[in-house]
Amino acid sequence: AAAIPPGVVSILDAKRGDIGNTAQAYARAAFDDLDFDAMTVNPYLGADSVQPFVERPDRGAFIVCRTSNPGAADLQNLLVSTPDGERPLYEVVAQSAQKWSRHENVGIVAGATYPDDIRRLRELCPSMPFLVPGVGAQQGDVGAAVRAGIDAERLGLIINAARSIIYAGSGPEFAEAVRAAAQRLRDEINASRAAPAGRGA
Amino acid sequence: AAAIPPGVVSILDAKRGDIGNTAQAYARAAFDDLDFDAMTVNPYLGADSVQPFVERPDRGAFIVCRTSNPGAADLQNLLVSTPDGERPLYEVVAQSAQKWSRHENVGIVAGATYPDDIRRLRELCPSMPFLVPGVGAQQGDVGAAVRAGIDAERLGLIINAARSIIYAGSGPEFAEAVRAAAQRLRDEINASRAAPAGRGA
């Protein structure tokens, strides 16, 4: 993370999930050796696999919850028995993420490609930050994702794009093309924040 | 994997789970750059996150199913609605692993610390190889794991230990102490294979 300017939050999207002893080593690598502020973490191994990433108040984790890829529903949308009735697994994961947040330093990954699920997650987690992949090469609809996931203060989303930005140009035009692609996405996000759908004007 | 002698199967226990495009890059790194034979894969992102690890007949994957750590049950034992009634999530994962096996090149990870769950997995997956962590530093019972997980040919288990072997000694005694620890584990495994519990003699 040494190449990232100070003041910019850096998130290592490594989706790690391992037993406690190994998770501690991954957390040291990400937070101490590489100096990232946060990391994405896979929840399948449960609480002790997440703990090393969330126990420090100055670092945080985004729990992989509802991802943007075609196979996401295979496990994440399975219906699970809970004391409140049946719910999709990703909702149980979101509630676990809230429980695992010790220092208001935990968010969830909620893919832009499934805005209905983002909306449901925002109902369950009104104040959690959402990391939202899937708007670039994966073709999620920015406006739909923003309208579904924005919080009561019209904030709460970190919308990331990788391939659509870093491959926006090449050769001498590289820097300008990448800058323009990033600005277009930023402007599109902000335009969607400004215009709530279906609430009048 | 260049340090591993030829003829020894090498498994990269990296528990990767990411969207298809990223999974393809992880598979290339593990199989082509590092020349591992197989890799452990986290199932939470579904079929397209697993596919790059299982599509080559000369390489394979162990799907993380029922792990050995204390928090494993948090998600893995949640009861899921299926057409056959409610079953723990890890059973659904085991059945998905069987479905994802295109070249008889897929196994599952089943922690030694939960022998009852290993037994259940063997009933569901009679001929799949199981990668069984948890017998060393994590204190799983080797005999119980072998009796629970062994297949009809008294094979089918890859029981691995890391810390209890590599930290068995130090200094000038290192090589001998490590060799002795590995041999003790091997002998304990084979003794448990030879003596089926509760089947007479």
Instruction: Tell me if A74 and B67 make a contact (CB, 8 A cut-off).
Output: no
Kindly state the tokens that stand for A63.
């729990």
Which of helix, strand or coil describes residue B196? coil
Considering only CB atoms, A78 lies closest to which of B15, B42, B92, namely B92
Q: Which of A1, A15, A164, A177 is catalytic?
A: A15
Of A20, A44, A80, Cβ closest to residue B44: A44
Q: B80 in contact with A at a CB cutoff of 8 Å?
A: yes
B19 part of contact set with chain A, CB < 8 Å: yes
DSSP for A78-97, please give it.
-EEEETTEEEEHHHHHHHHH
pLDDT band, very low/low/confident/very high, at A74 (cuts 50, 70, 90): very high
A10: left (phi over 0), alpha (psi -120 to 50) or beta: beta
Phi, psi (degrees; rounded to nearest 5) at B97: -60, -40
Q: What is the pLDDT of residue B200?
A: 43
- Is B15 an annotated catalytic residue? yes
Integer CA distances (angstroms), A134 to A4, A68, A161, B39, B57, in order: 22, 5, 7, 26, 31
Task: Inform me whether the C-beta atom of residue B76 falls under 8 Å from chain A C-beta atoms.
Answer: yes
ipTM score of the complex?
0.93
What is the side-by-side order of every strand in the sheet holding A130-132?
Answer: A11-16, A38-41, A60-66, A106-110, A130-132, A157-159
Average pLDDT over residues A14-29: 97
Which residue from A70, A90, A69, A71 is spatially nearest to A79, judged by alpha carbons?
A90
The verdict on A162 touching B (C-beta cutoff 8 Å) is: no
What integer pLDDT is reported at residue B198 of this predicted model? 53
Three-class SS of residue B158? strand
- Please indicate whether, in this complex, the C-beta atoms of B19 and A69 are within 8 angstroms of each other: yes
Assess A70–B contact: CB distance below 8 Å, yes or no. yes
Nearest chain B residue to A50 by CA: give it.
Answer: B71
Closest CA to A196 of A150, A159, A158: A150
For residue B35, how many other CB atoms are within 10 A of its CB? 13
Q: With an 8 Å Cβ cutoff, are B44 and A45 in contact?
A: no
The reply to whether A164 touches chain B by the CB within 8 Å rule is no
pLDDT tens digit string along A100-158?
Answer: 998 999 999 999 999 999 999 999 999 999 999 999 888 889 999 999 999 999 999 99
> Residue B102: which pLDDT band, with cuts at 50, 70 and 90?
confident
pLDDT one-digit tens code per residue, B104-144? 999 999 999 999 999 999 999 999 999 999 998 888 899 99
Strand order, beta sheet including B85-88:
A85-88, A79-82, B79-82, B85-88
Q: What is the mean pLDDT of chain B?
A: 94
Nearest to A69 among B48, B79, B138 (CB): B48
Structure tokens of A53?
Answer: 């990433």
Q: Establish if A86 touches chain B: CB-CB under 8 angstroms.
A: yes
Q: Which of B15, B119, B184, B193 is catalytic?
A: B15
Q: Smallest CA–CA separation between A90 and chain B, in Å?
A: 10
**Model pLDDT for residues B7-33, shown as the tens digit of each residue:** 899 999 999 999 999 999 999 999 999
Residues of B in contact with A44 (CB under 8 A): 17, 42-44, 64, 67, 75-76
Alpha helix (H) residue ranges in chain B:
20-27, 47-54, 73-76, 89-100, 115-124, 142-149, 163-166, 174-194
Q: C-alpha angle A18/A38/A130, rounded to 5°?
A: 100
Residue-wise pLDDT for A50-60, tens only, equals 999 999 999 99
Instruction: Give the N- to C-terminal CA distance of chain A in Å, as an integer.
Output: 42
User: Residue A30 in contact with residue A41, Cβ under 8 Å?
Assistant: no
